[in-house]
Every structure is written in structure tokens, then in C-alpha cells.
Structure 1
């Protein structure tokens, strides 16, 4: 249970906007890897609001990701709450390579992120069935990991230019400068069964449903190469038990191809022709995917 003193922990304004401010939460519970929590709460919060956890790429911060995306202005309209966390280790890359980082409640970044979610649910009476994850590059990698390690917490994810959960397992680091380049170069190719087994090992014994996934990748990405899109789609189609159905060209815009799995409600991929690292965030499409 969360004590009242915990819920009243100090909030420090970081940067003001016209309607509300991004604030720093200094005590949100278990935080084994010393993450920073930044939260945007709109002036008019919806009843039982949804929560979006939006994660920066390597070298970035939560504050920068808040400023570089449109989630806050959309939040002012729709009333959801956005968490913009920051990690300060390994060139500000998320922990998606270690045993503890790829396990549940084991002291990784993912455990701290879930603490932020639990704090927000408690403090703002948010809807625990409407918690969503998104991110770019390393943030997309953590979206995959968060969905695999806490599938009972995250309802759906949408991410940009990342890799499958477990792709960097065992690598010495999570940053491009310290990681095993095999994963980023698109050379970590596995069967669907292998990816599924790796993801399921992150939360052994879990028999429930997995979060819905929409994942985006540019064909001209030279940092995290395009084969990683196919590996993510293998992993999540296996976890959902769906198979490829069709391609929809020029969706949601010219040069983008939507890859539909099953009836399109559990898994979709987007290939962006000629786009490098990273695919621009499509916030409106994210909100559609999250049913917000």
C-alpha cells in the first residue's frame, strides 16, 4: 500500500506550458536503478485517466522527449497522463541487455518504470487497464522489454526504430558505443519459437494475454537496421498467435506500408521507405492504437 506521505512527495516544476507543467517526482517507490520520473498531468484530467509512458532514446532525457513530441498537447485535449522517465546510465540508454533488466522485479530499469506507473495509478486514480508504453530507439527497445516482463501492467505499446525484447541479451552495454553490434546491425535472427521462448522466460509461468503492439521502422536506418522490424514482428505474432494477413501501402502516409497481422487489433508493423533513424513519432496514430 502507498502511504499518504508517499503520495504527497514533493513535485518540482521542470518546464511550464500554457496549460500545465512537466514535473519531477522525487519519491515514487522502488527505484533500484536510480531513474528520474517526470510527469505531465493536464489541467483537466479525465475520470480514471489513461497513462502513457514515453521513453527517450540513447543520449536523451525525459524532458527532451516531452518537448520533442506532441503527447502533452494531446493530453490537454484528451485528459490522459504522460510519464517521461529518464535513465542516466550507459549513455542514457535503457537497460535492455542485462539479466536483471530482462527479468521481472529483479532490480532493472523496468522495475523502476513499473513503480512510476503504480504511483501514478494510486495518486491520480488512473485506470490500470489503460497503461501504455511508447518510445524511440532505446525507448522502443524498452517498450518491447516492458511489454514482455510486465504484460499484466501494459495494455499496448507503440514504438519507433527499436529491437525485439531480448535482442541485446548478454551484450556488454545497451548504447551503440558499448553494445554488441550484432543486434543493431540486424544480424540477431531467430525463429519465432526462439523469440517467444525468450520473451516468456522473462516472466515464467505467465499464461495471460500479451500487450498489443504497433512497431515502426525506417528502411534506410543505418544505426538499428531494418531486419529488426521483422524480428519484432516474429516475436509478437508468436506471443499473440496471429499470422501475417496483408500489406496496406501508403498508410498512414505516402511511403509507409502497414503490415497487418490477424485482424489488425493485436499487431501491426509499419515500414517507412527511405526513412533513417528514427521514424518520426506519429502521436495521433499512437492514440488511435491505444483507443484514446
Structure 2
């Protein structure tokens, strides 16, 4: 394994949908390192998302983190967040292969199972929701940019703009909080523990994945985490952004970005603080 560069790994375990694992291991690895997993959007790739964000930057070297940016090469390079296989625990879809990458990383690098963090944009944000719904025991916290609620695309013929039922992206799948919670729990019915801490972002001017989807994500995850709205912090973390705090703010927060389209720019510093890394 080459350290200090993003490299491909092929022997991480069962890979039912032929995903590509790309991993970055620092030259100086921490003892029981934390892991950040970052998923690209449609038409993207793992290396492309690494270059677009600072998750593999030298500035993170002192933390000794393992980071990986996998790659989906099907359905316009979108992650499958629609099929029954991927929306079922150990069901043999994209989510199953990604979970196996995570398990490999924990074992290979003796990573801290209490410090596994996931993030992504657009299709990658959709997959972060799906993974935290179907494999909640694998993750500590997540941050997703401009996605949809886990299960929003269930039953769609595909997950890309070209193949998907547009009703989800258009914000037409409006459900009650209990309906979302029940749908997620049905994906992994034997799981009765807590779900990962959540941070979600969406722009009010998003014309690809309608802003209404932020409300559905909020209903889903505030319900799963059993928290209610407590306050808004305006101009946070910057002008025109509002942070919506649920409960005491340690389990779930949402960010609304006025005038921002698709996708909300990645806020790595905010993510790292949410993850407890800096």
C-alpha cells in the first residue's frame, strides 16, 4: 500500500456491484485512526471528488486519518439508492459493497469503530443517508450536501437524472415523519440501537434536487434521532446560511443556504468540527 496518495484497492471483500475502492492512508498513521468516507455525485469519480474537496489535503496530515473516496461506474456514475438490494441490509447492492469497504478499512488499519464518518454531495449525499439507514452500526456521524431522504427513490428504475423517477428529485415525495421513520426501520428491522449523528445541507435555489427535499430529510432524521427543533442560528456558518438546531444540537442540525443552487459547496471545516476531529 502506497501511503500519502489516493490508491485503488481491489481485494476488500464481496463487491456485488463492481464498485471501485480508492483509499488515502497518510504517511504517519494515527493509532486507532479515524476514517472519513466521501462519496462523489453523479458523473463524478472518487479521485475527482478528492480533488474537489480538502479531505485528502496535507492540512489533515497531523490527524493521521484514513480517508477513502470510492467510485461508482454505473447509471451515469450515480450511486444506486433505489433498488431493493441496496435498500436492504446485506442485500447485495451498492450499499453492501460500500459497507464491506468500511469493514475492510477497520480491520486493515485498526481504525477506531467509534470514529467512522461519512459525507457526500448530491448522489453521494443520497448514499450517505442510505448507508446510515441500512448500516447505522458502522457510522458515528455524517454530513450530506444536497441529497434526499433515505428511501425517497425506492422503487425508481434508476438513480441518475436520466433514469430516475423524477418525483423524488422534484420534491413530490412528501411523507409524515412516522412514515419516513417506518420506511428506514424496515430496511434493517432487527436494529434497535441509536442512529448516527446527522448534519444536512441544501440550497434554496436548487433546481436539480428541489429544496423541499431538505424538509423530508429533516423529518426523517429528527424522527430517527428523536429530537425536535429548538432554534435557528442565522448567518451560520456564513452569510445567507441558517443553521437549524434540533435538540441540544449534538445529534442533528440542518443548514439552509439562501440563493445557493446544486450543490451546496462542501464546508470541510464545519464537517470536521461536527465529526469531532478539529
Q: Give the superposition deviation at 1:163.
A: 0.1
Q: Give the superposition deviation at 1:132.
A: 1.0
Q: What stretches of structure 1 of length at least 5 have no aligned partner?
A: 1-10, 14-18
Is the partner of 1:54 in helix, strand or coil?
A: strand
1: distance between equivalents of 2:67 and 2:275? 13
Q: Give the superposition deviation at 1:128.
A: 1.1
Q: What residue number does 2:77 align with?
A: 92
TM-score (norm 1): 0.93
2: distance between equivalents of 1:196 and 1:213? 14
| Residue of structure 1 aligned with 2:42, choices 58, 65, 81 | 58
Give 1:143-292 correspondences, 5 Å limit: 143-292=128-277
1: distance between equivalents of 2:190 and 2:110? 29
Give 1:95-134 correspondences, 5 Å limit: 95-134=80-119
2: distance between equivalents of 1:36 and 1:205? 29
1: distance between equivalents of 2:162 and 2:16? 24
Q: What residue number does 1:43 align with?
A: 27
Q: Deviations over 1:199-237 (max 9, x none)?
A: 001100211000000000000000001010110010000
Q: What residue number does 1:16 align with?
A: none
Q: Give the superposition deviation at 1:77.
A: 2.8
Q: Is the 8 A contact 1:196 1:235 kept in 2?
A: yes
1: distance between equivalents of 2:241 and 2:63? 27
Task: Name the count of aligned residue pairs.
Answer: 276
2:73 equivalent to 1:67: no
TM-score (norm 2): 0.98
How large is the RMSD of aligned CA atoms in angstroms?
1.0
Q: Is the 8 A contact 1:209 1:240 kept in 2?
A: yes
Q: Is the 8 A contact 1:220 1:273 kept in 2?
A: yes
Q: Give the superposition deviation at 1:175.
A: 0.1
Q: Is the 8 A contact 1:75 1:82 kept in 2?
A: no
Is the partner of 1:23 in helix, strand or coil?
A: strand
Q: What residue number does 1:5 align with?
A: none
Is the partner of 2:87 in helix, strand or coil?
A: coil
| Runs of 4+ with >2 A deviation | none
